[in-house]
Chains A and B, each alone.
Chain A
Amino acid sequence: MINMLRWIVFALAAIAMNFPILVTLSTSFKSARELTTNPGLWVQAPTLENYAAVFTVSDRLNIFLYLVNSFAVAALGTLLAVALALPAAYAIARGKVGERTLLPLIVNLRAVPLVIFAIPLYMMFQWLSLLDTRLGLGLILAIVNLPLALVILVNAIRDLPSELDEAALMDGATRTQILARVIAPLCRPAIVTGVIFGFITAWNEFLFGLMLTTSKAVPITVGASFFFAASGGGVQWGVASAVMIVGALPPMLLGLLMYRQISGSMTAGAVKG
């Protein structure tokens, strides 16, 4: 009996929280004609015409470009964050270097409204000609990803027995060699988690994409909003829905496949930071 109630609560919560996704998914399969007559959730005559329309490139809207941009900046922002965080995490976890300054500073970055750095970064990028470039946006996304990457890696290295390091030191290895040959391979699960979580975060970022890009480096979160800019006949809801589904799909698939790792890393910053 109570179990029945649990299932009902689960179903209600799942539907309510995923409601915008469900509506958008259903709308993306409606024909232009059905859209005017049927705003309900059920699709009467499913069609793929909206998806076909999305991928026809016009001179104003180019979803391929937005997707490639998102992929490039998310990859750069993630790999750079992990590459910077790994040696620092090793120094913090084993050498106690920066444990009281660098670590709290970066962990607290998670809580700082990053918009406060937005204007100077905009000016700096203007001077460096980094505005509207994938490199520029990728660098900023690395900052966004640093706090959790560092926490995940510090925790992972602390969990490794320090006898490993000592044995390698006896053999005459330097700390850098130990990091590259012993620690990094053993941390591979944590690195993978950090990369996946960072990729999702970077893919979903909007504020810096909005400010630092205008055409060449526009990511999908910003590009999707272009499809809402009414061009004459108002928003084409079917096409706009297909765009949003395509833009949300990569992180959703990663999330569904890797939910165990992600739930662990989402809470890492909260519980141990």
Chain B
Amino acid sequence: MTTKTHRSPVSEFRLLTIPLVVFLLVFLGFPAIVNLVYSVSEVSFETLRRPEITGFGNFAAVWSDAAFWRASWFSFRFGLLTAVLECALGLFLAIFLAPLLERRSWLMAILMLPLMVAPALVGLMYRLVLHEFAGPVPYYLWAWFGASLSFLGPGSAFWTLIVVETLQWTPFAFLLFYMAYQAIPREIIEASSMDGARYHHRLWYIELPLMTPTIVVALLIRFIDGFRVFDNVYVLTGSGPGGSTASLSIYIYEAFFKQGAIGKAVAASVILFAASFAVLYGLNAIAARRKGATR
């Protein structure tokens, strides 16, 4: 077709990716190597540039650290519970409010507003909301029920954080589900109502199955974000009371910045890296198989 010969197009495309690849190598590749080297080294702030490779002592230290396992368990429970709650609430809102939102899309902006605020600021805002003297929640609880709770005390801090995270991120799940709900082809819904299907039958047998892929994706995204939580937990409870609300991200941060335990912090980073890589690899393999099956 072409009369002119061009430079091999693939090589010019390669050139266009070079800036990005170089940037990634410098800011992710190099740190990844530093992580790997330092995780098997004896290192302190004094010997930062001269790590001495000593073996797997750091990993052993992390592995036998009860705080590491407690943080892992916190992150897992936190990610799982918030993901399930956010998706359940978001699904309900998306389906129940759809008739309202279809006609007045600006209502969406109000429901999306929490997503625009920094989680760190939301966490700080809850310091005010829950404060025993200045906060409205204890104030109204006293006024209406004559009793309040110690929201950030032992035992309740975990659940307070769950509520804080869920209220901020339910809008995200809601948004995904609302978009998926709107994307269900009209003909399917019309055909089913012609066949006399009732509302809840249509919901259960037609609409929800069509939304299942989105539900799975939303659960995954929210689990991952809950698992790696840092900002709101850090400003709201630090890691307290007594380390009971330290997520893995907070564990790594504190090991490095508060205890100066560089080796331990880096080894924990490598473990987390390997774990997320394994999970992501598995998920991608499943997704690829599913795509192959449906297409």
Q: Which of A44-52, A55-63, A95-103, A186-194 contacts B (4 or more CB under 8 A)?
A: A95-103
Asked if A91 is at the interface of the complex by the 8 Å CB criterion, the answer is yes
Asked if B32 is at the interface of the complex by the 8 Å CB criterion, the answer is yes
Question: What residues on B are CB-neighbors of A112 within 8 Å?
Answer: 273, 276-277, 280
Identify which of A40, A109, A241, A262 contacts B128 (C-beta below 8 A). A241
- Is A39 touching B133 in the complex (CB atoms < 8 A)? yes
- Is B125 touching A266 in the complex (CB atoms < 8 A)? no
Specify the chain A residue showing the minimal Cβ separation from B117. Answer: A248
Identify which of B20, B128, B235 contacts A24 (C-beta below 8 A). B128
- Number of B interface residues at 8 Å Cβ cutoff, please give it: 102
Question: What residues on A are CB-neighbors of B180 within 8 Å?
Answer: 271
Question: What residues on A are CB-neighbors of B128 within 8 Å?
Answer: 20, 23-24, 27, 237, 240-241
Question: What residues on B are CB-neighbors of A39 within 8 Å?
Answer: 131, 133-136, 138-139
Known A9-B97, A24-B125, A119-B252; judge A88-B20 contact (CB<8 A).
Answer: yes
Known A20-B125, A120-B38; judge A97-B217 contact (CB<8 A).
Answer: no
Specify the chain B residue showing the minimal Cβ separation from A95. Answer: B13
Question: CA of A235 to CA of B38 in the docked complex: distance in angstroms?
Answer: 40
Contact string, A50-79, partner B, CB cutoff 8 A, digits 1/0? 000000000000000000000000000000
Contact string, A238-249, partner B, CB cutoff 8 A, digits 1/0? 001100100110
Specify the chain A residue showing the minimal Cβ separation from B228. Answer: A113
Contact string, B257-295, partner A, CB cutoff 8 A, digits 1/0? 100001001100110110011001000100000000000
Asked if A35 is at the interface of the complex by the 8 Å CB criterion, the answer is yes
Q: Which of B102-110, B189-197, B200-208 contacts A (4 or more CB under 8 A)?
A: B102-110
Shortest CB–CB separation between residue A224 and chain B, in angstroms?
Answer: 6
Question: CA of A89 to CA of B125 in the docked complex: distance in angstroms?
Answer: 39
Known A87-B19, A119-B266, A120-B34; judge A35-B112 contact (CB<8 A).
Answer: no
Question: What residues on A are CB-neighbors of B53 within 8 Å?
Answer: none
Shortest CB–CB separation between residue B43 and chain A, in angstroms?
Answer: 10
- Is A270 touching B13 in the complex (CB atoms < 8 A)? no
Question: What residues on B are CB-neighbors of A251 within 8 Å?
Answer: 116-118
Question: CA of A181 to CA of B261 in the docked complex: distance in angstroms?
Answer: 52
- Number of A interface residues at 8 Å Cβ cutoff, please give it: 99
- Is A98 touching B17 in the complex (CB atoms < 8 A)? yes
Question: What residues on B are CB-neighbors of A224 within 8 Å?
Answer: 120-121, 124
Asked if B68 is at the interface of the complex by the 8 Å CB criterion, the answer is no
Identify which of B120, B168, B262 contacts A119 (C-beta below 8 A). B262
- Is A84 touching B19 in the complex (CB atoms < 8 A)? yes
Known A251-B116, A271-B179; judge A225-B124 contact (CB<8 A).
Answer: yes
Interface centre among A16, A83, A222 (most CB of B within 10 A): A16
Asked if A108 is at the interface of the complex by the 8 Å CB criterion, the answer is yes
Question: What residues on A are CB-neighbors of B135 within 8 Å?
Answer: 23, 39
Question: CA of A169 to CA of B224 in the docked complex: distance in angstroms?
Answer: 43
Interface centre among B9, B113, B120, B280 (most CB of A within 10 A): B120
Give the B-binding residues of A (Cβ under 8 A).
Answer: 3, 6-7, 9-10, 13-14, 16-21, 23-24, 27, 35, 39-41, 83-85, 87-88, 90-92, 94-95, 97-98, 102, 104-106, 108-109, 111-124, 126-127, 139-140, 142-143, 146, 169-170, 172, 174-176, 179, 200, 203-207, 210-211, 221-222, 224-225, 228, 235, 237, 240-241, 244, 247-248, 251-252, 254-256, 259-260, 262-263, 266-267, 270-271
29 contacts between A and B (CB under 8 A): A3-B100, A6-B100, A10-B97, A13-B97, A17-B113, A19-B129, A24-B128, A39-B134, A39-B139, A88-B19, A95-B10, A95-B14, A104-B284, A114-B228, A115-B248, A115-B249, A115-B252, A139-B27, A170-B2, A204-B116, A204-B118, A204-B121, A206-B120, A210-B234, A228-B127, A240-B128, A251-B116, A254-B116, A256-B109
